[in-house]
Structure 1
Amino acid sequence: MTLFRTITVALVVVFVVIGLNWLYYEIMGKRSAKIVSQEEFREGMRKAQVIDVREKNEFDAGHIMGARNIPFTVLKQSITAIRKDQPVYLYDSTKTLSVRAANKLRKEGYKEIYVLKEGYDGWDGKTKKKN
């Protein structure tokens, strides 16, 4: 094999893996939660538990007003802090961790789970930052 062909094959494999990863998160997201726009998130969050699944330092740097922080890395240990009888609105920087968190919650019996489509990075609503 020539060097060019080896590089081409490697790039194709990388793109296929990226595509499959994206597809996995799209399917898991739709299976475990409803992916919602900012407007839908804003409307529903007043009557729900809003949870930021990013790490504490990211949360402290800025988060959606009214959200509480339960990092994905400790979700399994903190799951009892989330009520099953109220909707759960999740977000992270993009939505990758939120989809994974939604999948965990669904497996634990949670029914009303919503994920912010654009994540915190796309949020243009009210935020709070720690000083």
Structure 2
Amino acid sequence: MDSKLIFNIVALGFIVWFFYSRFAGVKGLRDLSSEQLQEALASDNHKIALIDVREPGEVKQGYIPGAVNIPLSSLGKRVAEIPRDRQIYLYCRSGMRSKQAARILRKHGFSELSHLKGGIMSWKGKQTQ
């Protein structure tokens, strides 16, 4: 095989892996609609930790009441702040970063993970400014 063909195969493999790792589901992560998250927050509020993984500048545009902001960029360093005795509900702007956050938390031993499918853009409930 010539080196150009090998390079193209490796590059294609990397591209496939990159997209798979970004869009593949996370084992054990529940996708919640806006309505399902609202119901969960209304009924089990004391058993839930709601985490907004957006950056602080994004949070200033509005957030779900009761959410704690732990940006994805610092989640690995701040994982000790997340209670292990609660179900973890994650959200971001569109749902992509909350999936990445779930992967990080799974690696740290969290198992009760859910995220707002479509992120805060799909949220139909109340927001705090």
With the shorter chain as reference, the TM-score category is: 0.7 to 0.9
Superposed CA RMSD: 1.8
SS across alignment from 1:115: strand
Q: Deviations over 1:40-67 (max 9, x none)?
A: 1112232311000000011122111111
Out of 38, 43, 48, the residue aligned to residue 42 of structure 1 is 38
Q: Deviations over 1:89-111 (max 9, x none)?
A: 00000011000000110111111
Q: Distance in 2 between matches of 1:24 and 1:74?
A: 20
Q: Report how far residue 26 of structure 1 moved.
A: 4.4
Q: Deviations over 1:4-27 (max 9, x none)?
A: xxxxxxxxx8xxx59x72x54443
Letter of the 1:77 counterpart: K
Letter of the 1:44 counterpart: A
Matches within 5 A, 1:88-99: 88-99=88-99
Q: Distance in 2 between matches of 1:118 and 1:28?
A: 14
Q: Report how far residue 125 of structure 1 moved.
A: 0.3
CA contact (8 A) 1:32 1:102 kept: no
Letter of the 2:24 counterpart: I
- 5+ residue gaps, structure 2, are 1-11
CA contact (8 A) 1:90 1:115 kept: yes
Q: Distance in 2 between matches of 1:89 and 1:107?
A: 16
Structure-1 residue corresponding to 2:51: 51
Structure-1 residue corresponding to 2:76: 76
Q: Distance in 2 between matches of 1:44 and 1:106?
A: 21
Structure-2 residue corresponding to 1:108: 108
- 5+ residue gaps, structure 1, are 1-12
Structure-2 residue corresponding to 1:117: 117
CA contact (8 A) 2:50 2:88 kept: yes
CA contact (8 A) 2:35 2:124 kept: no
Identity, % of aligned positions: 33
Structure-2 residue corresponding to 1:3: none
SS across alignment from 1:100: helix
Q: Report how far residue 32 of structure 1 moved.
A: 4.5
